[in-house]
Structure 1
Amino acid sequence: MVKEAGKTPALTFEDLYSEMTVRGVKLSDQVNQLSGKKVEMTGFMAPPLTAKVNFFVLTKVALTVCPFCSTDADWPTDIVVVFMPKGKDVTPTEHQVKVTGTLSVGSQTDEETGFVSLIRINADSVEVLK
């Protein structure tokens, strides 16, 4: 369930989809309603390709292997791609992070990497939680 964190809705991984079947996933009504709006989300950074990145994958649980190194069948379905503001990068961490930014939904392919995402947050800030 979406919870209010001040004025910014806090989105959880359980909120992302209303249905997950062998035919695919269906975005939840909450996610569709929040598309284009500012949200907060907490999770873990998947191991990145390089030490400094302009985007990362937010996951519900800490991943110990590089998700880019395996097939898409090995990926958890409940992931969110987080794009950093232009000119800013983020240092990978094993700690939870809280992301605040604008939610974007629908299939999109990153031009630089070819990475395909269904749910994204264009981050305003990323806070490491210790």
Structure 2
Amino acid sequence: MPQSPFLDFDELFARIGVLGHEFHERLEALDGTTVTMRGYLAPAAPGSREVLVLTRAPAATGREGGTDQGWPEDAVFVLPAAEEAGDFAPGRLTEVEGVLEHGPLRLDAAGASSLVRLRGARWAPS
């Protein structure tokens, strides 16, 4: 993967609270640029390859290929590049590169709302 700025999960939100989420200044500065993150991929919905979720720790799945419960507050939704058909192994640390987007967005394919996304993403095991 080409070198792009690395974004850590700790740089997503400055604050998470009952009144909402405050985006971290580094996330806002990198919005619209290609970044690399490292975490664990899982399908956002059972059997889905359209939308994946990147988490800092392996996600507990409710059933094969997905989860029925909410994702962690700092989960990043991953929208794969059209030609990306790469396999991934849930529970295996993975490096993901994509264009960073932030702000509320409803992802119908995932049946979820997203605050942070990587669009046109590609990945490789770390």
TM-score, normalising length: structure 2:
0.83
Q: Does 1:95 align with 2:92?
A: yes
Superposed CA offset, 1:31-79 (max 9, x none): 01111001000000135511x6122100000112246312x3xx31011
Greater than 4 Å deviation, 4+ residue runs: none
Shift of 1:128: 1.3
Q: Does 1:32 align with 2:28?
A: yes
State the distance in 2 between where 1:113 and 1:44 align. 17
**Which residue is equivalent to 2:68?**
69
Superposed CA offset, 1:93-122 (max 9, x none): 121110111100011112434321000001
Between structures 1 and 2, the one with greater helix share? 1
Where does structure 2 lack aligned partners over 5 or more consecutive residues? none
- For the 8 Å contact 1:109–1:117, the answer to whether it is kept is yes
Higher RCO, 1 or 2 (CA under 8 Å, sep at least 6)?
Answer: 2
TM-score, normalising length: structure 1:
0.81
- For the 8 Å contact 2:51–2:109, the answer to whether it is kept is no
**Percent of matched pairs sharing the same residue:** 24
**Which residue is equivalent to 1:3?**
none
CA RMSD of aligned residues (A): 2.0
Structure 2 counterparts to residues 9-88 of structure 1, below 5 A: 9-46=5-42, 48=44, 49-50=46-47, 53-66=49-62, 68-70=67-69, 72=70, 75-88=71-84
State the distance in 2 between where 1:112 and 1:43 align. 21
